Every structure is written in structure tokens, then in C-alpha cells.
Structure 1
């Protein structure tokens, strides 16, 4: 479904990206509208798929997940059966926060959040026991410099 996004919609989306728990009254006041039109616009954007799942952002380190690894995977397998098993393996592992299929020398990149290096090794061992990969390189993030889910509206 196509939906046209105007300036008011962009203001609503920007407000929701900053804090989706804000009241409709607050958002309406910020965008210069009233509550009902803002609610209708939000509903339409949800129905159109512009607005997806609403959630909260947790502090990984405060919860004991101190290690963030970026995992580069090369594979010589490209058959549908292998891809299905690989994608299922990633979906089944909550440690995998993001997974991307890439163009270029590396086939996949994963963002994996775990407690420590031992926990990463358990993840790695379980993954390679389930699906065959040609080469895996794990890069430990030493410091998160920027992280956002906000789009530049």
C-alpha cells in the first residue's frame, strides 16, 4: 500500500522516533494539530506499514550484555535449502540483533550482543554446528560511538 507522507506526517514520525510513549496531546501540540487528526494519521501510517513495531530500547550493558560482535560470514553455499536453514538459525538466536545479506566479498554480516567472549564462542559453536560456512570473522566492538534507529526525516 502506498501512502503519501506530508510535512505534518514527518513531524509526527519525528516525534514518535524520539519518544513513542508520549501522549497524543503532546505530539499534537508539537506538530500544531489536534489529537484526533494526529491519531488518524498515525493509524493510517501503521496500516500502510510506515510505522512498524513499537518497542523500548534497553541498555545492553546495564543488563550484562557487555560484548558486541560484528560477525562477517562467507559461504560457498547458496542453495535455497542452505539459505533456509541459515536464516532459521539466525531467527532462532536472540543474540543476533541484526543480520544483513551483502554484496561483495562478504556474504552476511551479523550484529551479535552477548555477555562476554565465552558467550560469543558458545553462539559461534552452535551456529557452525547447525549450518556450514566457509569463513567467519568476528570483530569485537571496543566502543559504541553512535547508535540510532531514527531515520533522517
Structure 2
């Protein structure tokens, strides 16, 4: 469902995406409004589900998570029970930052952050011991060229 947003809403969203820790005063000044209308618009966008939880982005490498793997998963299982188990396993693994179900030859792609290749192998061994998987291909990211959480609003 699409929510109607005007230019001021979009300016507010761009500022929140850039830095959600800014004060309302700073956001209001940047978008050319005052504090109360900005607060009301943010509240309405939260209620409408446009704005979700606020969080902090951490630097993975400085915390020792130097390896990023994209894991391609193919399965021969397509029953609801298998899928429920697989999704629960993914939710329970903190190394899995993202998981997507795909159209095409690959069933799922996972973004996995770990300390190194050995830590990836520990993750992999745990994954295949918990759920039956037909084929797993791991691709090591050599360099992150672009990362953003900002949508083009």
C-alpha cells in the first residue's frame, strides 16, 4: 500500500535516512519548517508504517567481522514444513544479515558477516546440520563498493 507524501515529507525522510539522530530542531531548520509540524509529520509517517524502528549502523570490520559472504542456496525441498524450518534457522543465526527468496535457478541468497573463512565454515556446517539443502555456493566479497540504507525518496 502506497502512502501519499508531499515534498516536505520527502525532505524529512531524506534527513532521517541521512542521520536519524539529529534533533528535531536541526531537521526542521534543514527542511525549512518548524519543530512541531516536523514532529507531527514524523509521528504520522511512523503510524502509517513509512518510518520503522530507528537503529545505529555499526562498522563490521572495526568489530572484527571482516568477511562478507553472499551465499546462494538451492533446495530440492519445497514443502511448507521445510521452508518454516529453514526460515527459523536463518532467523536464529546472527551472522545472517539478509535473506531473500529468489525467482530463478537459485532459491535463496543470504548475506553473511563473519570474522573470516574459518568462521564461515562453522556457520556453513551448522546450517547444513540443521536443515537439508541441495546445494550451497559461497561467494566472498573482496570489496564493498557501495553500501547504503537510504531509499531514493
Distance 1:131 1:83 in 2: 9
**Are residues 1:78 and 2:78 paired?**
yes
**Are residues 1:40 and 2:40 paired?**
yes
Residue matched to 1:91: 91
Residue matched to 2:123: 123
User: Could you tell me the TM-score, scaled by structure 1's length?
Assistant: 0.98
Write the deviation string for residues 112-147 of structure 1: whole angstroms up to 9, x where unpaired. Answer: 000000100000000000000100000000000000
- Structure 1 gaps of 5+ residues are none
Residue matched to 1:146: 146
Residue matched to 2:26: 26
Give the SS at the match of 1:88: helix
1:3 to partner: Cα distance: 3.0
- Which runs of at least 4 in structure 1 moved beyond 3 Å after TM superposition? none
Residue matched to 1:108: 108
- Structure 2 gaps of 5+ residues are none
Distance 1:75 1:19 in 2: 40
Write the deviation string for residues 12-68 of structure 1: whole angstroms up to 9, x where unpaired. Answer: 000000000000000001111110000000001001110111101100000000000
CA RMSD, Structure 1 to Structure 2 (Å): 0.9
1:2 to partner: Cα distance: 5.5
Give the SS at the match of 2:36: helix
Give the SS at the match of 1:129: helix
Distance 1:2 1:134 in 2: 38
Residue matched to 1:13: 13
Aligned residues: 153
